[in-house]
Amino acid sequence: MGEFVFLAAPPPGGIPAAPATFSPIWERATAGLTREKRFEAEALPHLRSLYGTAYRLTRNAHDAEDLVQETMLRAYRGFDRFREGSNIRAWLYTILYRVQTDAYRRAGRSPGLVELSGEGPAVPPPQDALAHGGEEIERALTRLPPPFRTAVVLRDVEEFSYEEIARIMDVPIGTVMSRIHRGRALLREMLASRRP
């Protein structure tokens, strides 16, 4: 049998059967345990990948920790609104993105967009560049403007679909595609300028 939590001493004669419609207090008392265990089982396994993404977005270990901590706090508080069976990973990344956006607003700065000139075709860099220049790519990725960096990280590192990224960033899918294209073009440009 599972554990029971009593909010008060049981009435004389034992514990009555739960009514067909639970009282709000009973619902909160029993749902709290289930909710906590569900959160641990479903959300906590994504903690490491959330931190990796947060670090790539903030470029700072302490800021990344703060971002993930606030994300998990908001996720826990809003876990009752999460539909069981839906994509919890995308839901957590949506919260992460919104927390980051809120942090930019609080800091009085908004992610800026940069117009590119002379951008090339939307093709990823050659595989050998990825294999031998991992550190260069990480450094170049950290220099991308935040909206482009977020889109590229979510697509190329976390492997979200365009539709999922659009929902996470709360922008149209065309904007996502444009940001990924421009972010990749900027990365190519930065990497090409470092080569002899």
Residue whose entry in the numeric block shows the structure tokens 């009514």: 19
Per-residue pLDDT of the chain (196 residues), as tens digits, is 344 333 333 334 443 333 344 444 434 444 555 778 888 888 889 999 999 889 888 888 888 899 999 999 999 999 888 887 788 999 999 999 999 888 877 776 655 555 555 555 455 544 544 455 567 888 888 888 888 998 998 998 888 999 999 988 889 999 999 999 999 999 888 888 876 5
Give me the amino acid identity at 115. E
- The full set of domain ranges for the chain reads 24-106, 127-194
> Which pLDDT score, from 0 to 100, does residue 33 have?
54
> Which pLDDT score, from 0 to 100, does residue 113 have?
56
- Interacting residues of 148 by C-beta distance below 8 A, sequence separation 6+: 114, 179, 180, 182, 183, 186
> Which pLDDT score, from 0 to 100, does residue 23 have?
44
CATH class of the structural domain 24-106? mainly alpha
Domain made up of 127-194: CATH architecture = Orthogonal Bundle (1.10)
pTM above 0.85, yes or no: no
> Which pLDDT score, from 0 to 100, does residue 182 have?
93
- Give the angle subtended at the CA of 106 by the CAs of 115 and 94, to the nearest 5°: 70
> Which pLDDT score, from 0 to 100, does residue 16 have?
36
Task: Answer whether 24-106 and 127-194 agree in fold.
Answer: no
- The sign of the CA dihedral 92, 97, 100, 101 is negative
